[in-house]
Amino acid sequence: MAFSWSGFDPTFLKEIIKASGIENAKLYIESDDEDALAGCVNNICSVPDKKFIMNYRQIIEQYLILKYREEVRKICKSLNIAGNNYNEMQSCMTKKVMSENLIHAYITAIYSIKGMDVRENEYSTFRYTRALNMAETKIEDVPLYDFQKDAVRALKEHFIDNDQEKVMLVMPTGSGKSRTATYFLIKEMVSRGYQIIWLVHRHMLIDQAADCFYRFAGLSKIENPKIKDYRISCISGEHLRISQVDKHEIIIASVASVCRNKDHLRRILKSKVMIVVDEAHHTFALSYQETIKFIKKCQKNAKLLGLTATPIRGSEKESKALQKLFDNNIIYQIKLSALIKKGILATPKFIQKETGEEFEPQISLDEEKLIRRYGELPETLVSKIASSNTRNKLIVEEYLKNKSAYGKTLIFAMNVLHCRFLYEELQKHHVKCGLIFSGKEDNSTVINDFKDNQYDVLINVNIMTEGTDVPDIQTIFLTRPTQSEGLLMQMIGRGMRGISAGGTDTVNIVDFHDKWNIFNKWLNPEWVINEEIEDVEPEQRDYRKVFIRKYEWELCREIYRSIVFQNIESNRYVMLPSGWFSLIDKDGEITTMLVFENQLSGIKQMMQEKPLWKDDASFNAKTALAKYFREFGDMPNIDDLDLLIDNVRYNEDQPTIHSFENRKKIDPYYVAKTATESNLNVMTYAAEIYDAYPIAADLYPLKNDYILKVCEASLYGNERKLIGQKVEELPVELIPFDRTSVYDIDQLVQEVKDEMFGGIFNGLGSIEWTAKPHKTYYGCHFADSHNILINCVLNSKDVPKEVVKFVINHEMLHLNNMSHDAFFKELEHKYPNYEEWDHFLDAHMEQFDIKEM
C-alpha cells in the first residue's frame, strides 16, 4: 500500500498548499475537491519525510496531530515527555526542538493517522544519529542497586585507577547488565573522552543499549561538567550504515555490519576507544575476532569490556579460551541466588510436565552419532519432535487450563515449524499471541506489542534468549531439551525480573519433559537454578557446519492438520524455593544457599541433630547427603552444604533459614503499600517492621537503608524512576547549498583515467552531467551504450572534487562489471581514501538544503 494524502483533513491540506508557495495555490485553496487537494500535496511531497516535517511542523501540529490524542501520547513517550495531564504533555511536545527523534516521531504519527505502519527500516527511534545538547542536558540521578554500584566501583578501579586493558563483567540475566555497564561507561569513560564501540550480534539488542546511553547522558557531566559533544549512532540493517557515521562518542553496532566494512573504522575511531562486547560469550565468532583485531590495529591502546550472564562455552576448554580473550579476568560476579533472595529477581516456581512422548525409537544412526558427538539434538530430530501433534496439544492445553495463573507467557519453541504449529493451535482457541523467529521482518514490532500487552503469549525461536527486556513476563515455557547451561539460563532469565525491579514476585518455569532412557543428560532448569550441575568435564566438542532445513509452510500445515490429535495424561511436578541461608564463605563474604521445598525436611532433621555431628570432624556434606537426603531427587549443592556445616561449627551466630514468605512481609514495595492504604507514617512503620522481623536485617544490614528503600517504594511503587526527561537534543538544521557550477567534467574524467587506469580507459561512451538534479542516484552507467551520466547536483563548490571523481570512477568500473559484487567492491576500494568520499555521499549530502531536488 503506497502512501498518499487522500483522506486527510482538507483544512490541513489547504494550509500545506498555502505555505508551499506553489503557482495556482489559490485555486486549490478555494476548492472543495478533496482528491484535487490530496493530489496537489502529493506533488509537493509524496511522503511525509524529514524535509516535510521541517518545513511544515507548525501546520502539522495545529491542524493535524493535536486532533489525535493517542498519537500525541505516543510522540511524548518516544520523546521522554511526562506531564500531569494531556494539555501539559502536548504543550511540552510543541516546544521541543526540531531533533531527529522528533522528526521520526511525527513521521510515524502521520503514517499512523493514515492507518499505515512506518516502513520497517524506519521503525527504530535511533534510525538517525541522536545529537544531544549537553549544555541544556541536566545531571539526572540514575538509581542503582548495591550490587550494581559494587560492579561500577570494580570497573572504575580496573580501567581508570589501574589503567588495565581487558575484563569481563558477569551478571545474571535480568540483573541489569546494560544499566550497570552504561552507567559506568558514561560517567567514567565518556566523561574522560573515550569513544564507546558497543558490539552486538543481533540488531534487536541495539535499541535497548542506545536507550540507556541516551537517557543516562547527564551522568557524563558529573566528572566533566563542560562536556560538549555527545552523539549516539547505531549501525545495522535497520539503522545507519557505517558509511553514514562519523567520529561519534557512542557507536552501537551489529558486529556483522561493521565487520563487512571494517575500513570505515579507520575513519570513525577516536584516539581513546573502549570496545564493549554485549553477550560476550559470542566473542569466539570470527566476525568479533576480526573486528576487535582491526580496532586494536588502528588504536593499539583500545580497552575491551565483555558483558555476559554465562561466561561458559560447550566445554571446559572452550570456557577457558573465552576467559583468556579477556585476560582471565572476571571483574565482578554475583550469584543468582543472592538476587532471588533480595527480590531483585523473581522467585522461580518449577513445573515439570511429563509429555509421555518417546522419541528414541525414531532416532537414526546418523542422528545418534550427532547427539553423542555434540550433545544437542540434530535439526532432523528437532523437526520430528516439533511435528508431534500429541506433544503440541499438551503444550497448548497446559496454557489454556492455567491461563489466568500463567498470565503473560513466553514460549521457547524448538524451531520455526514448531513456532508456527503452536501459534496456529493457540489462535484456534482465540488466544492473543504473536510469533517471532530469525528472518521474520516484523520481529521488532511484535516484541513491542508484547511489551504493550497486546499479546498474552509470545512464541519465539531463540530470539528472546538475549538482551530483550520485557520485565513483566510471568511464565516461561521450555519445550526443547538442551545440554547448554548457558542457553537454559538465558531462557529462564527472560522471566526472572523481580518485583523490586518492576517485574513479578514469582515466575513459573514450565519444563516439558519427554521420555529419554539413553540420551538422558538434558538439563533440568530447577537443578541449574539450584546450582546442582555436577562438575563433570563435558565431552570435547568439534566445530561443525550447521545446515538449517527450510520447509514450505503451507505443505507442512496441511500434513499437520491431517493428523488427528490424541489426548495424553501427564504427571506434574512443582518445585519452589522455600527460603535461604545467609552464610559466611572462606573469604568472609556473605553468600546465599537456596533451599527448595523438597529439601526442607532433610535440612530440618540435620539441624535438629547438629549436637550429634557438630564436633565430629568426619561429618561433611557427602555424609549429610547420604544420611539426610538419600531419597531426594534434587539434593542440595554439595559445596553449599559443606559451607552450611562449617558455619554451624565455627560461627557464633548460628545460621537460620529465612523463608520467601516472610521476605514478602518486609519487602519495601509491600510495606509502603500497606502504610499508604492504612494511612500510617511510612518512615515510622518501616522502622517498626525492621525491628519486628530479623529477616529485614539479613537483607538490609543498615536500618536507615531499609527505611530509605521503603520511602522510595512509597514514591515510585514497583516502577523504576523515569529517567531521560532532562536530556535535550540539538536542533536539526539544513546547511545552505551553492548550486553554482564549478567543475569541468572532461577534466575530472581525465584525472580519474590518469590516477586509476594509467591514462587509458577504452570502451566508454560519453560522460556528461545530468540536465537537472536527481534524488535517486549520483551516477548512472548505461549498459547498452556505456554512456555515463553524473548527477549535476555534485557540480558545486560545496562538494569536494575527490567526491565527484570517486563517483566517476565507480561508474567507469561498471564497464566490465555490472553488479556490486565482492570483486567490484575490491576494485572500488582501491580509490584513495574511498571511505571519506563514501561517507560524504551517504551522510553530508543529506544535510544540505537542496531545494531543487
CA distances from 801 to 9, 154, 496, 774, 794 (A): 47, 51, 57, 19, 9
Q: Which residue has the higher pLDDT, 548 or 508?
A: 508
CA distances from 601 to 606, 608, 621 (A): 9, 11, 16
The pairing of strands 347-358 and 572-575 is antiparallel
What is the Cα–Cα distance from 482 to 473, expressed in whole angstroms? Answer: 22
The total of other beta-carbon atoms located within 10 Å of residue 726's CB is: 14
**Residue 288 near residue 277 (C-beta atoms within 8 A):** yes
What is the Cα–Cα distance from 598 to 616, expressed in whole angstroms? Answer: 27
**Residue 787 near residue 766 (C-beta atoms within 8 A):** yes
Q: Which of 172-181, 213-222, 235-244 has the lowest mean pLDDT?
A: 172-181
Q: Which of 43-47, 66-70, 81-85, 409-413 has the lowest mean pLDDT?
A: 81-85
pLDDT score of 521: 46
CA distances from 813 to 760, 774, 804, 810, 818 (A): 13, 21, 14, 5, 8
Percent helix, strand and coil across the chain, each to the nearest 5: 45, 15, 40
pLDDT tens column, 453-489: 899 999 988 666 555 668 788 998 988 776 555 566 6
Under the banding of pLDDT at 50, 70 and 90, the label for residue 175 is confident
What is the Cα–Cα distance from 199 to 290, expressed in whole angstroms? Answer: 12
Q: Which of 287-291, 441-445, 546-550, 671-675 has the lowest mean pLDDT?
A: 546-550
Has residue 583 got a pLDDT over 80?
yes
What is the Cα–Cα distance from 106 to 124, expressed in whole angstroms? Answer: 13
- Using CB atoms within 10 Å of the CB of residue 775, give its burial: 0 to 12 exposed, 13 to 18 middle, 19+ buried: exposed
- Which residue type, as a one-letter code, is found at position 540? Q
What is the Cα–Cα distance from 577 to 600, expressed in whole angstroms? Answer: 10
Q: Which residues pair with 593 in a beta bridge?
A: 581
pLDDT score of 545: 40
pLDDT score of 680: 93
What is the Cα–Cα distance from 172 to 488, expressed in whole angstroms? Answer: 12
What is the Cα–Cα distance from 283 to 288, expressed in whole angstroms? Answer: 6
Under the banding of pLDDT at 50, 70 and 90, the label for residue 520 is very low
Has residue 746 got a pLDDT over 90?
yes
Nearest to 181 by CA among 290, 287, 304: 304
| Grid cell locating 303 | 580497552
- CB hemisphere CA count around 251 (13 angstroms): 28
Supply angle C-alpha 117, 121, 123, rounded to 5.
50
What is the Cα–Cα distance from 81 to 87, expressed in whole angstroms? Answer: 12
What is the Cα–Cα distance from 13 to 38, expressed in whole angstroms? Answer: 7
pLDDT tens column, 241-284: 999 999 999 999 999 999 989 999 999 999 999 999 988 878 87
pLDDT score of 272: 96
- % of the chain with per-residue pLDDT over 70: 85
What is the Cα–Cα distance from 279 to 202, expressed in whole angstroms? Answer: 10
pLDDT score of 499: 74
CA distances from 619 to 147, 520, 573, 615 (A): 35, 32, 32, 9
Cα Rg, the chain, nearest whole Å: 31
Phi–psi pair at 532, nearest 5 degrees: -105, 10
- Which residue type, as a one-letter code, is found at position 649? R
Nearest to 413 by CA among 449, 385, 390: 385
Q: Which residues pair with 211 in a beta bridge?
A: none
pLDDT score of 122: 47
Q: Which of 119-123, 302-306, 331-335, 829-833 has the lowest mean pLDDT?
A: 119-123
| Grid cell locating 346 | 523473581
Sign of the dihedral defined by the CA atoms of residues 621, 623, 624, 626, in that order: positive
What is the Cα–Cα distance from 140 to 724, expressed in whole angstroms? Answer: 8
The total of other beta-carbon atoms located within 10 Å of residue 152's CB is: 20
pLDDT score of 264: 94
Has residue 391 got a pLDDT over 50?
yes
What is the Cα–Cα distance from 209 to 126, expressed in whole angstroms? Answer: 11
**Residue 279 near residue 307 (C-beta atoms within 8 A):** yes
First to last CA, the chain: 25
- CB hemisphere CA count around 79 (13 angstroms): 31
pLDDT score of 487: 61
Residues 6 or more apart whose Cβ sits within 8 Å of residue 262: 290, 291, 294
What is the Cα–Cα distance from 307 to 212, expressed in whole angstroms? Answer: 15
Has residue 1 got a pLDDT over 80?
no
pLDDT tens column, 70-103: 899 889 888 888 777 888 888 999 999 999 889 9
- Using CB atoms within 10 Å of the CB of residue 522, give its burial: 0 to 12 exposed, 13 to 18 middle, 19+ buried: middle
State mean pLDDT over 112-119.
76
What is the Cα–Cα distance from 818 to 816, expressed in whole angstroms? Answer: 7
Sign of the dihedral defined by the CA atoms of residues 251, 256, 257, 262, in that order: positive
Q: Which of 185-199, 297-311, 430-444, 509-523 has the lowest mean pLDDT?
A: 509-523
**Per-residue b or e along 11-37, where b marks 16 or more CB atoms closer than 10 Å to that residue's CB:** ebbbbbbeebeeeebeebeeeeeeeeb
Has residue 403 got a pLDDT over 90?
yes
**Residue 179 near residue 278 (C-beta atoms within 8 A):** no
Sheet (strand 457-460) strand order: 433-436, 457-460, 409-412, 475-478, 506-515, 347-358, 572-575
The total of other beta-carbon atoms located within 10 Å of residue 703's CB is: 14
Residues 6 or more apart whose Cβ sits within 8 Å of residue 404: none
pLDDT score of 30: 87
What is the Cα–Cα distance from 598 to 343, expressed in whole angstroms? Answer: 21
**Residue 743 near residue 769 (C-beta atoms within 8 A):** no
The total of other beta-carbon atoms located within 10 Å of residue 232's CB is: 23
Helix (H, G, I), strand (E, B) or coil at 777: coil
State mean pLDDT over 354-369.
73
What is the Cα–Cα distance from 73 to 137, expressed in whole angstroms? Answer: 23
State mean pLDDT over 206-212.
89
**Residue 167 near residue 326 (C-beta atoms within 8 A):** yes
CA 817 vs. chain centroid, Å, equals: 39
- Which residue type, as a one-letter code, is found at position 757? F
Residue carrying C-alpha cell 538449517: 548
Element (H, E) at 585: none
What is the Cα–Cα distance from 821 to 269, expressed in whole angstroms? Answer: 27
- Which residue type, as a one-letter code, is found at position 684? T
CA 567 vs. chain centroid, Å, equals: 39
Per DSSP, the chain holds a count of helices (H) and strands (E) of: 38, 23
Phi–psi pair at 791, nearest 5 degrees: -55, 125
Residues 6 or more apart whose Cβ sits within 8 Å of residue 844: none
**Residue 502 near residue 720 (C-beta atoms within 8 A):** yes
The total of other beta-carbon atoms located within 10 Å of residue 116's CB is: 12
Mean pLDDT of the chain: 84
